[in-house]
Chain A
């Protein structure tokens, strides 16, 4: 099917050229296939027929909307016939890379008419957002040319009296009320294709065709309203929404929850960011020394696509460490106007790359803290500063996480030894937060030498990030789209608990190794977002750009995470089948997920800023509360929503205080149970036991000390 639904029954990537009508019929077919799930999510058990009734009217609208001839009405004389329509079920479009480039090419070949001949600007239709609510720049393609042709119709003469007609006095004129419709064209395969969109980015011309890489969203909310769900009746497409970010719909509908693929969207943003990159139609762009083939060929155009129009950069380390040191160094993320400016700046194209030469670019951190930072923010895992100053910091606050539970127990049972691990607590990623659990292998001295622990994906947070050997990885639960649909609980649309990544250009799901439709995967991203020099042969010279590699997904063997501690005291883990040993002496688990983060009523405002920046010393004052949250790269549609989801200073401190209090209680208990110092000449075993007990207390006290002494950095 030329539509790949990335959110069931709502949002899809176009994978091959198709007509508007075919797209809507594909949506209808999708609604039919997902009927039971949709009814389960949105309706009471007895209301299923209302969904069917609404879908029948949707199908009727599709038939009428694309009918070239006049609609037939079988009328009886001397009585009434009722012709009932529904509100237009037009699809919202985000232009894909191919379309954006083709439009740019068309505009270059067909310059707009002289400004003097251009039609005068007209007032927007009443349905448009007022000017003061003009949207913030969007991430997407809406690079509407100011010289766009406007489809403006003359105003009609005063209407006649309602009801009965009167004969016209003159020939029919072009009497349409004024409409403002941006019109764009592309030439493809010898045809000129026209596209008209309204203020909500809904496609209005029935003869529109969708191109590969376009993303469309269908008005499920309208269908629900049609089916009697009044809460959805005031919703509309958000012209500033982005298909990555779950803010595609706006309105005041209390209780109007819409299912979405939120985590996947955030994750997809990461994929795009990680792939950074650029695309061009007929020019291969490649990093010096790393030529890559184009990904696709569409209608004779080679499309070099390395992701969507989304670039990110995280800068810059002021110290020698290869990771961020929150509060001491500064970082920011910027998008260089990719996705927000007008062509060509909205594109990571050759011209766009040329604008980057003096900008701050991502240091070449091998495992991309940038990417992980994105991940933390997008999954609500970021909780502020790192007590130890480490780049990925031990913000382990998800009390219900089995990872956390096991880690706490393991830490408690297996504190670092003195001497060998003396430096551990101050090392950025070698503190002693560890997995544990049966079966545990112990050596002759009762030290844990190996602990194998397997955890079913359903017990894990969707993403568990950890660092290992100075390399950040994530244990990710992946499910296929088909599996995703099965996950909706009775009466609730699924909004969390899954990942289903897709290829940005083609929309195909990221292939899951060995054909699984569900499982725990080790995700690693190496070499993301590092500075690269880009050449465009045969033109001389190079541009500064970003290079990246694709993500790596590796299935974890039997969904297992293996923990081991070697006889030297070092601790490591292994995922998948390859054990890691050596430098790693610790593990950080970052699995904080706000329990309600993904279940609240959707709303959106233009306040959303997709990428955020400037944090720390020397980056200017933070004057507004919104800025404070924006600094955290809030991937949420409203600041109010962000405030609810993201910890502010008070909650971070409260969390820390809670942890300290809990640990102090634990320490007091342990100290109360400490054996008295063994007398001189006591048996060695008794001495060792006493020493171990004291060591445990010391380790815990050290941990409390670190938590207490740390600052927020804010």
Chain B
């Protein structure tokens, strides 16, 4: 019964695909109960998490010899959803082009400023280019499965960066510098929280809410 140590970019879906399992077979396994309780979602794991991977259960099919048989393999896909905001307004109707494993897909952002892509679960990244009218194109690399949990300092930093903050200048650890504490206090003040300048549960919850995950 292997224990899989989660690496950056991994989530239950692509781990399951690697082992030839369904995601539910791993996530719902009783041995993963603690992790499931801690992480809440199979889509956001923290590097270093231990995931129990059950043995693969083979499937037997009886077929006649001397004939050609076709087997259809269902490739696991997953959905990526990223919404783009300008300040606090959705950037709707902005054309975009995404490149997934060399294939280009195009669309426009919806009314929520979001693009949604179904990609193979083992996709490592998706390149997206926004092409706002009259302005330079913007390029993003969506690193699939790389978002860390919000109760992790790195997860806080990632969400703050996505929301436009220069968190690197402030520091992402608990030992916040003065600039980081000020920035955080500003975030708290802006969202009606007590501006303590410290990362607490209220900050994490607000980050999840604003970030969407």
**A and B bind:** yes
Say yes or no: B131 contacts A176, CB within 8 Å. Answer: yes
**Known A-B contacts A79-B213, A81-B82; A162 and B93 likewise in contact (beta carbons under 8 Å):** yes
Q: Which residues of B contact A228 (CB under 8 A)?
A: 190
Q: Which residues of A contact B86 (CB under 8 A)?
A: 84-87
Task: Kindly state the separation between the CA atoms of A60 and B161 in the bound complex, as whole angstroms.
Answer: 7
**Known A-B contacts A70-B127, A160-B107, A165-B106; A176 and B137 likewise in contact (beta carbons under 8 Å):** yes
Q: Which residues of A contact B179 (CB under 8 A)?
A: 32, 56
**Closest CB pairs A-B (n = 7):** A53-B186, A80-B212, A59-B166, A163-B110, A165-B107, A70-B139, A79-B213
A78, CB-defined interface residue at 8 Å: yes
Task: Kindly state the separation between the CA atoms of A278 and B41 in the bound complex, as whole angstroms.
Answer: 70
Return A208 CB to nearest CB of chain B, in Å.
13
Q: Which residues of A contact B135 (CB under 8 A)?
A: 88, 179
**Known A-B contacts A71-B139, A75-B146, A83-B83; A53 and B213 likewise in contact (beta carbons under 8 Å):** no
Say yes or no: A70 contacts B105, CB within 8 Å. Answer: no
* CB nearest to B83 among chain A residues: A82
Say yes or no: B147 contacts A56, CB within 8 Å. Answer: no
Say yes or no: B109 contacts A77, CB within 8 Å. Answer: no
Interface residues of chain A, those whose CB is within 8 Å of chain B, are 32, 47, 49-63, 69-88, 125-127, 156, 159-168, 172, 175-179, 204, 226, 228
Question: Would you give 16 A-B contacts (Cβ < 8 Å), ordered by A?
Answer: A53-B190, A59-B166, A72-B140, A74-B158, A76-B43, A76-B145, A76-B147, A83-B82, A85-B87, A126-B134, A159-B107, A163-B107, A165-B96, A167-B104, A172-B97, A178-B134
Say yes or no: B141 contacts A70, CB within 8 Å. Answer: yes
Q: Which residues of A contact B34 (CB under 8 A)?
A: none
Say yes or no: B105 contacts A226, CB within 8 Å. Answer: no
Q: Which residues of A contact B87 (CB under 8 A)?
A: 84-87, 226
Say yes or no: B147 contacts A80, CB within 8 Å. Answer: no
Q: Which of B110, B147, B167 contacts A81 (CB 8 A)?
A: B147
Given contacts A80-B114, A83-B85, A127-B134, 18 further A-B contacts (CB under 8 A): A49-B188, A53-B187, A53-B190, A71-B139, A74-B143, A76-B43, A77-B144, A78-B81, A83-B83, A83-B162, A84-B163, A85-B86, A85-B91, A159-B95, A163-B111, A165-B107, A167-B106, A172-B97
Classify the interface of chain B: helix, strand, loop or mixed: mixed
* CB nearest to B92 among chain A residues: A162
B136, CB-defined interface residue at 8 Å: yes
Task: Kindly state the separation between the CA atoms of A80 and B110 in the bound complex, as whole angstroms.
Answer: 13
Q: Which residues of A contact B165 (CB under 8 A)?
A: 56-57, 59-60
Task: Kindly state the separation between the CA atoms of A293 and B15 in the bound complex, as whole angstroms.
Answer: 74
Q: Which residues of B contact A77 (CB under 8 A)?
A: 11, 13, 43, 78-80, 121, 144-145
Say yes or no: A164 contacts B81, CB within 8 Å. Answer: no
Q: Which residues of B contact A71 (CB under 8 A)?
A: 138-141
Task: Kindly state the separation between the CA atoms of A179 and B143 in the bound complex, as whole angstroms.
Answer: 31
Say yes or no: A163 contacts B97, CB within 8 Å. Answer: no
* CB nearest to B137 among chain A residues: A176
Task: Kindly state the separation between the CA atoms of A361 and B148 in the bound complex, as whole angstroms.
Answer: 72
Q: Which of B82, B145, B164 contacts A57 (CB 8 A)?
A: B164
How many interface residues does chain B have, given as a range?
Answer: 35 or more
Q: Which residues of A contact B96 (CB under 8 A)?
A: 165
Q: Which of A63, A69, A79 contacts B43 (CB 8 A)?
A: A79
Q: Which residues of A contact B115 (CB under 8 A)?
A: 163-165
Say yes or no: B189 contacts A168, CB within 8 Å. Answer: no
Q: Which residues of B contact A125 (CB under 8 A)?
A: 134
Task: Kindly state the separation between the CA atoms of A88 and B179 in the bound complex, as whole angstroms.
Answer: 22
Say yes or no: B82 contacts A80, CB within 8 Å. Answer: yes
**Known A-B contacts A52-B182, A56-B186, A70-B127; A78 and B141 likewise in contact (beta carbons under 8 Å):** no
Q: Which residues of B contact A168 (CB under 8 A)?
A: 97, 104-106
Return A99 CB to nearest CB of chain B, in Å.
22
**Known A-B contacts A80-B114, A165-B105; A85 and B148 likewise in contact (beta carbons under 8 Å):** no
Say yes or no: B131 contacts A85, CB within 8 Å. Answer: no
Q: Which residues of A contact B97 (CB under 8 A)?
A: 168, 172
Q: Which residues of A contact B146 (CB under 8 A)?
A: 74-75
Task: Kindly state the separation between the CA atoms of A159 and B107 in the bound complex, as whole angstroms.
Answer: 7
Task: Kindly state the separation between the CA atoms of A55 and B140 in the bound complex, as whole angstroms.
Answer: 23
**Known A-B contacts A126-B134, A163-B107; A86 and B164 likewise in contact (beta carbons under 8 Å):** yes
Return A348 CB to nearest CB of chain B, in Å.
36
Q: Which residues of B contact A56 (CB under 8 A)?
A: 165-167, 169-170, 179, 182-183, 186-187
Say yes or no: A166 contacts B109, CB within 8 Å. Answer: no
Task: Kindly state the separation between the CA atoms of A84 and B190 in the bound complex, as whole angstroms.
Answer: 15
**Known A-B contacts A52-B186, A82-B211, A168-B97; A73 and B11 likewise in contact (beta carbons under 8 Å):** no
Task: Kindly state the separation between the CA atoms of A69 and B110 in the bound complex, as whole angstroms.
Answer: 25
Task: Kindly state the separation between the CA atoms of A57 and B134 in the bound complex, as whole angstroms.
Answer: 23
Interface centre among B13, B93, B138 (most CB of A within 10 A): B138
Task: Kindly state the separation between the CA atoms of A83 and B140 in the bound complex, as whole angstroms.
Answer: 10
Say yes or no: A54 contacts B186, CB within 8 Å. Answer: yes
**Known A-B contacts A70-B127, A75-B144, A163-B114; A82 and B212 likewise in contact (beta carbons under 8 Å):** yes
* CB nearest to B44 among chain A residues: A76
Q: Which residues of A contact B164 (CB under 8 A)?
A: 57, 60-61, 84-86
Task: Kindly state the separation between the CA atoms of A159 and B103 in the bound complex, as whole angstroms.
Answer: 18
CB contacts under 8 Å to A, within B61-113, are 78-88, 91-93, 95-98, 103-111
Task: Kindly state the separation between the CA atoms of A77 and B16 in the bound complex, as whole angstroms.
Answer: 14
Task: Kindly state the separation between the CA atoms of A58 and B115 in the bound complex, as whole angstroms.
Answer: 25
